[in-house]
Amino acid sequence: MSIHAVILFCLLAALSSPATAEEVGSGREIIRRMDTLMRGDTSAGIYEMTVRDPNWERTLRLRVWEKGREKKTFIRILSPPKEEGIGTLKIGFEMWNYLPKVEKTIKVPPSMMMQAWMGSDFTNDDLVKESSIVEDYVHRVIREVKIEGFDAYQIEAVPRPDAPVVWDKILYWVRKGDYVPLRQEFYSEKGELIRVMTFSEIKAMGGRVIPTLWQMRPIKKPGRETTLRVIAVEFNQPIDDEIFTLRNLMRVR
């Protein structure tokens, strides 16, 4: 076998073999692959968000478009009628909400990125991914564990000194082999566990295998949770740039 054939064989073997923790380094590559799995270069889908409190429950149906690499997100509420037409647009580091009942567009300042979105347990930052889980944090694999019957990497993410984030630490559990997220824990500057997000109902959708039910639970609010269910989603399909404009934000059909 020639030296060229040996090199080609090694390259093909590396591409076809599942990555180990050592091959993906300190954890950054695992998180990057997890983020790519969940977002793609683009995504467009229908979601249902249900907010549950001990005394009440409400469900919103959402249509969401995203261009991950360009940091663009557009969200339109489809139902119920009371909130129908409300929109959220994020371009780069700027974000706006549109309220059709009063025909008013409100620019969201950076200081409000951690405020609740539509009364849920997801923040503005969560919904439009203002902070980058890949670029704003330093990651390391803590251990390899079993969770919900799956082999997974447990990864610690701590913010870079100049990163515009509020969490002092985030712990991730990511399934081996396909980088499906299983669990995330968010810690404050005091080291307190503030909220937990779990991922379940893993199945094929949009040409890839993803969790289709996300549950966010605030630790200090017993009986409270917000779930986000993926109804349908497509990845890496062309999305017209007209979607991500203030003109479209105010155009309620």
Q: Give the pLDDT mean for 201-218.
A: 97
pLDDT at 25 over 90: no
Give the residue, 64 or 129, on which the prediction is more confident: 64
CB atoms within 10 A of CB 227: 19
- Report in angstroms the alpha-carbon separations of 15 from 8, 9, 12, 248: 11, 10, 5, 42
What are 31-80's pLDDT values in tens digits? 999 999 998 899 999 999 999 999 999 999 999 999 987 889 999 999 99
Other Cβ atoms closer than 10 A to 234: 14
Please choose, from the candidates 125, 247, 107, the residue with its C-alpha nearest in 3D space to the C-alpha of residue 186: 125
Work out the mean pLDDT of the chain and round it to a whole number: 87
Return the structure tokens found at 7: 């090199």
> Are residues 235 and 207 in contact, defined by beta-carbon separation less than 8 angstroms?
yes
Q: What gap in Å lies between CA 144 and CA 120, rounded to an integer?
A: 32
Among 180, 176, 236, which residue's Cα sits nearest to residue 209? 180
Contact present, 113 and 95 (Cβ < 8 Å) = yes
Is the pLDDT at 9 greater than 60? The verdict is: no
Residue 6 has pLDDT above 50, yes or no: no
Residue 208 dihedral angles phi and psi, to the nearest 5°: -150, 165
Can you tell me the distance from the alpha carbon of 35 to that of 50, in angstroms, rounded to the nearest whole number? 23
Give the chain's domains with CATH numbers. 20-245 (2.50.20.10)
Cβ(136)–Cβ(165) under 8 Å? yes
In the predicted structure, residue 83 carries a pLDDT above the cut 80: yes
- Inter-residue contact 233 to 42 (CB < 8 Å): no
Nearest to 31 by CA among 186, 171, 238: 171
